[in-house]
Structure 1
Amino acid sequence: MVEYRRRVLDDALDELQPHLRALSIHGPKGVGKTATATQRAASVVDLSLPAQREILSADPSVLSRLPGPVLVDEWQRFPEVWDQVRRAVDSGSPPGHFILAGSSAPRGAVIHSGAGRIVPMRMRPLSLAERDIETPTVSLSALLAGDRDVDGSTRLRLTDYVEEITASGFPAIRGLPSRVRRAELDAYLDNVVEREFPEQGYPVRRPAVLRAWLAAYAAATSTTATYSKILDAATAGLANKPAKETTLAYRDALSSLWLLDDLPPWIPGHNHLDRLGQSARHHLADPALAARLLGLDAAALLRAEQGSTNLSEGTILGALFEHLVALSVHTYAEAAEGRVSHLRTRNNIHEVDLIVQHAGGRVLGIEVKLADRVEDADTKHLHWLRDRIGEDLIDAVVIYAGEHAYRRRDDVAVVPLALLGP
């Protein structure tokens, strides 16, 4: 039996679960929701099994009679169970009794929001700190608290980060041989198109067009490209293009499957800034999915970095590295009750890759640099942000692919991605 490895989310679950009557762990398939929830469950109801669905359909009170905590796994296979749990909570179920794991209900299913009864918690693919390849020395929560200490060194280099981009953060996939890993990721994407879309109530008439749209979305990783431009890229040369409503349905289905993890634009709490862009920055759930959709393995990404004249390949590694950073920062920030977004002015003169907003409203500004050194030019947008928002900026950080964590003379912290943790 494989030993369970704790996730960043476990710390929040330790603190919250004993006091919450019901919580849900949601996220894309394969991220480890069931493994994490099972560690805390005395009873498991697996709704991927028809017999379990039949039992609950016939007698919903079974849920309240089972010894708790009760894990209701794959709840979206029987959406009625959501309301059954809500009613059990309203009837006085004890604290810590219910854990639901799964994704969103299929389109058309009528369920109560669960607000005030079922507390949602998101699980993403493994952050870099959760992959156990390096010991972090810089805590994001400490930075948000105003800690100025930044130190440590790492042995990880560009090739290691490229390996992590392509290996994926899916626990069952990342440890496989590289060729098997690629086959598993391809199968994962095929399953999304051929099975999960229809199960969510989105029949796919032209699977090839959906795959092309996904590849175009992957090519737009870490950009704010409009959905119309993504559609044009996906259907270049195609006379019978899908309607806009069809591609919006693609987005809705992927969102319901938690396969999109877009960075929203930052909306400042104070009126320090105006004319900010309102477009989200595009990310799939895992950069490995984007790499597979683009047909890029580790060797291809490294060739591009080493001087390919193909511009699209030459820029995609930086975009995927930024995606890996965003995936990790999302996980760490949520553990610290922070929110992650990005900043871009409408005229595109200034942008900051990641804005982590603390519960008190102050922010951490983060730039991402795929390089082994940080130059003055790499910090200019952070200085602009500091000039504009003053003390509301807790700290300014550049996350890069170099060796050492340190603080520059201009007071900007420089941290290798491998050394950043929750």
Structure 2
Amino acid sequence: MPPSPGYHRRIVDGELDAYLASAPNVAVAIALEGARAIGKTSSAVERAATSYELDDESHLAIVSADIDLALSQPAPVLIDEWQHHPPVWDRVRRAVDRHDPPGPFLLTGSVAPKGTGMHTGAGRIIALRMRPLTLTERWPGNATVSLRELLGGERPAVKGTSPFGLTDYVEELFASGFPGLRSLPANLRQAQLDGYLQRVIDRDFPELGHQPRNPAALRRWMTAYAAATATTASWEKVRDAATGGESEKPARTTVMPYRDVLERLYVLDPLPGWKPTRNHIARLTEPSKHHLADPALATALLGLTPQGLLAGDEPAGAAHRDGSFLGSLFESLVTQSVRVYAQAAGASVGHLRSYAGEREIDLIVERGDGRVIAIEVKLRSTASDHDVTHLRWLREQFGPDLLDAVVITSGTEAYRRADGIAVIPAALLGP
């Protein structure tokens, strides 16, 4: 079936189609998960024969009255924003187990299930994560280097020239990966992002049973988290940054629910610490790196401007980091894209950091067999010997299990250094 007019295919659509292709032989249900407004419903509607939108009172009434009747309609059956009627989840699971009705089923939601016993694989609901638009999806037709090919371990040729430079990447930090916001004028886009964040506080938290006693304090905590983007700052440091100047600091039991709810809403998208499965590297830390779902949310929370970032402005309360805050936001933008490309290739992504902090690598992309690609993200046009120090160290530690080593830059030329390390402008890396 051709796409609807105006619909732009997403990378995750390939994964979704592959799962649905098994439907004639295997009952299947797919849950498209991710933050609100990233395009989950659009992708699902493209494939659904029957759709129920549970944030619509009339659709909610139909599904609440008779779930079995709703699920027996022409398939694929889409239940959008399923969390408005949680019994749908277990009923779909039973339908998949019993092949009655046979499906396929699509579930979309902006809240991670809690206590629903989510499972993946045949016979259960498959969780498929969707993230905001990648750089390849924002700038189609520019990628000349495939992450999947890099994961193949053959050290493919790295070449290409990017038409984009630093100012373009800075604009993308504000343009957002939320599809519906990109075409808006800058002032209206900023207002929409502010409204998005306020809805999280005013509506989403209470809907999950967490009425903030002090909404302003929650907003300050979110702002402090944004200031810690691409760092492993402790939760105590984030809390202290959010309560600067206050003699009485809120207890951990007060602020930790902020993190838990925001993760369930997919507003936070932390990057886990990497644990090697094939090689033992002593004394690696496991704290996650802090990232929001989209760097544009960080710029909105912190009240930043493109001109200010380019001039070197640093947000108040920014966590200690090597390099500029702009560099951290660029890393977050690249991380968002790499996670999408890796997921499409069946790989996972983490970061490497030693306990003393003397060894750090921004991104480790791991295949199912434990072999990896190591990626450093640098806000510069080329890669110096200093920039690849930790990549060389990991190559010594891992040997052939390191499939490739890469530096992602904001420059224009893709190439391999004399030591074999690939240098790739962010716009040229694709799935």
TM-score range, shorter chain: over 0.9
Identify the match of residue 403 of structure 1 among 403, 412, 415.
412
1:52 CA displacement: 2.1
2:85 aligns with 78
1:88 aligns with 95
1:241 CA displacement: 3.1
TM-score, normalised to structure 2, is 0.93
Show the 5 A alignment for 1:23-422. 23-93=30-100, 97-104=104-111, 111-115=116-120, 116-132=123-139, 135-147=142-154, 148-304=156-312, 312=318, 315-422=324-431
1:267 CA displacement: 0.4
Identify the match of residue 14 of structure 1 among 14, 17, 34.
17
* 3-state DSSP of counterpart to 1:142: helix
Q: Supply the AA of the counterpart residue of 1:142.
A: E
* 3-state DSSP of counterpart to 1:86: helix
Q: Supply the AA of the counterpart residue of 1:386.
A: R
Please give the alpha-carbon distance, in whole angstroms, between the structure 1 residues aligned to 2:330 and 2:165. 12
CA contact (8 A) 1:105 1:200 kept: no
Change (3 A) 1:133 1:300: farther
* 3-state DSSP of counterpart to 1:61: helix
Q: Supply the AA of the counterpart residue of 2:17.
A: D
Q: After superposing the two structures, state which structure 1 stretch, 74-83 or 50-59, moved more.
A: 50-59
Q: Supply the AA of the counterpart residue of 2:148.
A: S
Q: After superposing the two structures, state which structure 1 stretch, 40-49 or 141-150, moved more.
A: 141-150
* 3-state DSSP of counterpart to 2:158: coil
1:96 CA displacement: 5.2
Change (3 A) 1:85 1:178: same
Number of residue equivalences? 418
What's the % identity of the aligned pairs?
50
1:65 CA displacement: 1.9
Change (3 A) 1:421 1:309: closer
Change (3 A) 1:141 1:344: same
1:254 CA displacement: 0.5
CA contact (8 A) 1:18 1:95 kept: no
CA root-mean-square deviation: 1.9
Please give the alpha-carbon distance, in whole angstroms, between the structure 2 residues aligned to 1:361 and 1:51. 49
1:76 CA displacement: 0.7
Q: After superposing the two structures, state which structure 1 stretch, 391-400 or 134-143, moved more.
A: 134-143
Please give the alpha-carbon distance, in whole angstroms, between the structure 2 residues aligned to 1:56 and 1:310. 48
CA contact (8 A) 1:31 1:169 kept: yes
1:113 CA displacement: 2.6
CA contact (8 A) 2:378 2:409 kept: yes
CA contact (8 A) 1:357 1:363 kept: yes
Change (3 A) 1:183 1:324: same
* 3-state DSSP of counterpart to 1:379: helix
Please give the alpha-carbon distance, in whole angstroms, between the structure 2 residues aligned to 1:322 and 1:105. 25
Unaligned runs of 5+ residues in structure 1 are: none
CA contact (8 A) 1:166 1:287 kept: yes
Change (3 A) 1:365 1:95: farther
1:400 CA displacement: 0.2
TM-score, normalised to structure 1, is 0.95
Please give the alpha-carbon distance, in whole angstroms, between the structure 1 residues aligned to 2:159 and 2:118. 44
Change (3 A) 1:239 1:8: same
Please give the alpha-carbon distance, in whole angstroms, between the structure 1 residues aligned to 2:128 and 2:308. 36
Q: Supply the AA of the counterpart residue of 1:417.
A: A
Q: After superposing the two structures, state which structure 1 stretch, 172-181 or 362-371, moved more.
A: 172-181
**CA deviation map 1:23-55 (0-9, x unaligned):** 100000010000000000000011112222222
Q: Supply the AA of the counterpart residue of 1:383.
A: R
* 3-state DSSP of counterpart to 2:407: strand
Q: After superposing the two structures, state which structure 1 stretch, 97-106 or 161-170, moved more.
A: 97-106
CA contact (8 A) 2:382 2:423 kept: no
Q: After superposing the two structures, state which structure 1 stretch, 97-106 or 245-254, moved more.
A: 97-106
**CA deviation map 1:276-296 (0-9, x unaligned):** 012111101000101111110
Unaligned runs of 5+ residues in structure 2 are: none
1:22 CA displacement: 0.6
Please give the alpha-carbon distance, in whole angstroms, between the structure 2 residues aligned to 1:332 and 1:404. 21
Change (3 A) 1:282 1:311: closer
CA contact (8 A) 1:22 1:95 kept: no
1:358 CA displacement: 0.9
1:112 CA displacement: 4.1
Please give the alpha-carbon distance, in whole angstroms, between the structure 2 residues aligned to 1:369 and 1:288. 19
* 3-state DSSP of counterpart to 1:262: coil
